Structures are given as C-alpha cells and as structure tokens.
Amino acid sequence: MAAPQPLNRFRVVLSRPGIPGNIGAAARALKTMGLSRLYLVSPKHFPHPEAESRASGATDVLAAAVVCESLEEALQGVSMAAAFTARRRELALPMQWAREAATTLTAAAAQGEVALVFGNETYGLSNEELALCQLPVMIPANPEYSSLNLGSAVQLMCYELRMNNIDPGEAPASFGELATVDEVERMMAHFQDAMQDSGFFNPDNPKRLMPRLRRMFSRIRLERDEVNILRGMLASFQHPERFRRSED
C-alpha cells in the first residue's frame, strides 16, 4: 500500500477509543484519503470483529495499527501533534479550525512527523492529553449539536489533509467535444431561419425571441454532437418531406 509520500508523514492517534466499530471506521477513513498509519492508545476492545467489519476494504490499515499504552508512547518521534476537541476549552494555546489547521500541519509535516489526536467518544481528550499537543483544532459545527461521530471526524480531517497535499487534478470532464463559437452562431442563424419559415419569428417584430434563445443556450456549454442534433431537428421542421419515411 504505497501511500503518496507527503501523507506518510501523518499518523492518526485514537486515544482510549471505546467503540470498536469506530476504530474500523477510522481505518477506512484513513485509507480512502491515502493515509495509512493508525495508532491506538489503550483501546477498550481490540482486535474486534466489529472493527474488522467497519474497516471494509481497509483491514490492512487496521492490521498495521500500532497499539500503545500511553499517548506519550504514541507521540514518540512526532514534532507536532494536533488535538481535536469539540468544545471551546480554557486552553493556553490558540485554536485553529480544521481547514486552517490542515495548512499548518502540512507545513509542519515538511519538517517532521505530525500526529492527529482524537479522544474518547464520550470524554474527549483529558487535560493531560491536551497538554502533550501543540495545536488544538476544532471542526466548525452546529453550535447546538457539535458532536461528530469519531469516524466522521477522522474522515473529515484526513480529507482536509488530502486536499492540502494531493492535487486531485481537473474534475473528469464531459466526454463530448465542445462546439466552437462559430458553430453555435451558425446554429442560432439556423434557428432564426427555421422559425421565420414556420411563421413563429417575425423579422419585422422580432421581440426578444432570439436573445432569449441565445441566453438559454449560453447557460449550457453545447457539444458539437448536440449542435448537430439540433440542426438536424431544425432541418426536419423545415423540410419534413426529406425526412418522412415513404409510407409502407
């Protein structure tokens, strides 16, 4: 499992996770975003079939998870640790929102290993655990209900790290070739002719018909095939005799 180089500098640490399913969900979240290094501090149940099941296709990440007895142990060799917290606590350090933190942590990863530390589902991180981390991070959530599932929080932060580290490239484009401006212009002229033939368009009283049509087509980026289909349709309206099948 060759994760892209920059994402190899990040480890995700779950401290005292209580629900085995969440460990599996976290493993899956890591792998979908190209991370692979999972650390577990005193998991309540591990290994566990529910973790396997929720890991889905990421059982390799689960199998490679490092089990530690303390957060200190899980943070060995780390030069920056981010602590995820759901509430505003009386912290000595300024917090960052997840997106900003992803930028900070990516910069830090250029110089050393970085850890993302998530606390227990019910209790979060203890003050002692927080004190070992250099950057408290919050996910901007609904103030009336800010309790994300542990797996979802891991997913979201790994996504932000991926967005900072891996250029996803252009979104897959449409498969058709776009029509050129002049092809579209010839089509507009064809529309006008055909509507003039049919009597729908009156050149002496054009109203807003052509601008409205033009506005409508300008909202879609027409493909060449589509222009050809539309022009074929117009030709059939103008000369149905050429298109009707001989009666059989």
What residues line the site for its own copies (CB under 8 A)?
A: 1, 3, 25, 28-29, 31-34, 54, 56-58, 88, 90-97, 99-100, 138-142, 144-149, 151-152, 155-156, 159, 162-163, 166, 168, 171-176
What whole-number distance in Å separates Cα of residue 122 and Cα of residue 41? 15
Least Cβ distance, residue 121 to its own copies (angstroms): 9
Cβ proximity to its own copies, 99 vs 186, nearer residue? 99
In the bound state with its own copies, the residue whose beta carbon lies nearer, of 74 and 98, is 98
Q: In the complex, what is the shortest distance from the CB of residue 15 to its own copies, in angstroms, rounded to a whole number?
A: 20
Provide the 10 A C-beta neighbour count for residue 4. Answer: 11
**What are the structure tokens assigned to 122, written together?**
């019910």
In the complex, the smallest distance separating the C-beta of residue 49 from its own copies, rounded to whole angstroms, is: 15
Find all residues with CB under 8 Å of 125, minimum gap 6, and list them.
15, 83, 84, 85, 117, 118, 119, 133
What's the closest the beta carbon of residue 149 comes to its own copies, in angstroms?
A: 6
Whose CA is closest to 118, among 82, 93, 89, 143? 82
Nearer to its own copies, 165 or 201 (CB): 165
Residue with tokens 């979240």: 29
Minimum distance between the CB of residue 238 and its own copies, rounded to whole angstroms? 27
Pick between residue 92 and residue 110 the one whose CB is nearest to its own copies: 92
Nearer to its own copies, 67 or 148 (CB): 148
Q: How far is the CB of 204 from its own copies (least distance, A)?
A: 35
Q: For its own copies, which is the closer residue by CB, 87 or 208?
A: 87
